[in-house]
């Protein structure tokens, strides 16, 4: 029984071919392609409004040098948002519950922000490892601590996204299993657990959107430190 709860997090395959690539590219098919028409439909208007809103929220804390990253950060935000929300549908697979995928997204972008800072302002970037006014005996320990906290950032990004989505999916499956099991013996309790399940589903939709935003927002903050 315990193993069946975690079967939903295993990557599906067909004839030995992993289907995670299809689940990763499927969100792009849901976005309508832009055209040169002056008058568009409501879906294209909603898409453009959402993209502008996300871009504005992500670029507000950055200066003009960081606006070069607008396309990358906005695309990543929409990508994570659609994958997290589509993973809540029945009989679907959520790629962002895989730590390997989240680390593959977090590590290159974090490394790019770090290399950007070392190239443009090496003194300031290295100065973050040692706060000003540190007593001399504490310098080696503080450099070691700050270096560790810097190197652990991509791991924290990936683990945060994976843990939050995995916990939500497990709770939904546990409560739904309890609802079905109690429907024949205790209908009143089953209705109560069904209500809890509906509330938890709404909460999980909010978590899916918030975690996508937090992932990209932290990357933008790391970028702000290095530009």
CA distances from 106 to 11, 55, 67, 157, 204 (A): 20, 19, 19, 6, 22
The full length of the chain comes to: 227
How do residues 24-81 score in pLDDT, each as one tens digit? Answer: 777 766 666 666 666 667 777 788 888 888 888 888 888 888 888 888 998 899 889 9
3-state secondary structure 92-148: CCCHHHCHHHHHHHHHHHHHHHHHHHHHHCHHHHHHCCCCCCCCHHHHHHHHHHHHH
Average pLDDT, the chain: 82
How do residues 192-217 score in pLDDT, each as one tens digit? Answer: 998 998 999 999 999 999 999 999 99
What confidence tier does 158 reach under pLDDT thresholds 50, 70, 90? very high
What confidence tier does 137 reach under pLDDT thresholds 50, 70, 90? confident
What confidence tier does 1 reach under pLDDT thresholds 50, 70, 90? very low
Candidate from 7-21, 82-96, 151-165 with smallest mean pLDDT: 7-21
Percent of the chain past pLDDT 70, that is, above it, reads: 83
Please name which of 158, 80, 153 lies closest in space to residue 110, comparing C-alpha atoms.
153
Domain ranges of the chain: 22-226
CA distances from 117 to 100, 112, 163 (A): 26, 9, 30
Task: Note the pLDDT of residue 109.
Answer: 93
Tell me the mean pLDDT in the region 182-194.
86
Q: Which residues pair with 13 in a beta bridge?
A: 18
């Amino acid at each position: 029984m315990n193993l069946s709860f975690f079967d939903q997090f295993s990557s599906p395959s067909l004839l030995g071919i992993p289907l995670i690539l299809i689940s990763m590219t499927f969100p792009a098919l849901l976005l309508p392609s832009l055209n040169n028409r002056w008058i568009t439909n409501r879906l294209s208007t909603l898409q453009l409004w959402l993209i502008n809103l996300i871009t504005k929220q992500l670029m507000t804390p950055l200066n003009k040098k960081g606006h070069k990253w607008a396309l990358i950060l906005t695309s990543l935000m929409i990508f994570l948002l659609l994958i997290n929300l589509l993973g809540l549908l029945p009989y679907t697979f959520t790629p962002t519950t895989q730590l390997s995928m989240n680390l593959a997204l977090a590590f290159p972008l974090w490394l790019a922000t770090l290399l950007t800072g070392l190239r443009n302002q090496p003194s300031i970037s290295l100065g973050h490892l040692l706060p000003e006014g540190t007593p001399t005996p504490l310098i080696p320990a503080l450099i070691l601590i700050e270096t560790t906290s810097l190197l652990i950032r991509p791991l924290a990004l990936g683990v945060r996204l994976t843990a939050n989505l995995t916990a939500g999916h497990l709770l939904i499956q546990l409560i739904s299993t309890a609802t079905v099991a109690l429907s024949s013996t205790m209908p009143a309790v089953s209705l109560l657990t069904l209500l809890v399940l509906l509330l938890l589903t709404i909460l999980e939709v909010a978590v899916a959107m918030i975690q996508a935003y937090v992932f990209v927002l932290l990357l933008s903050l790391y970028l702000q430190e290095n530009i």
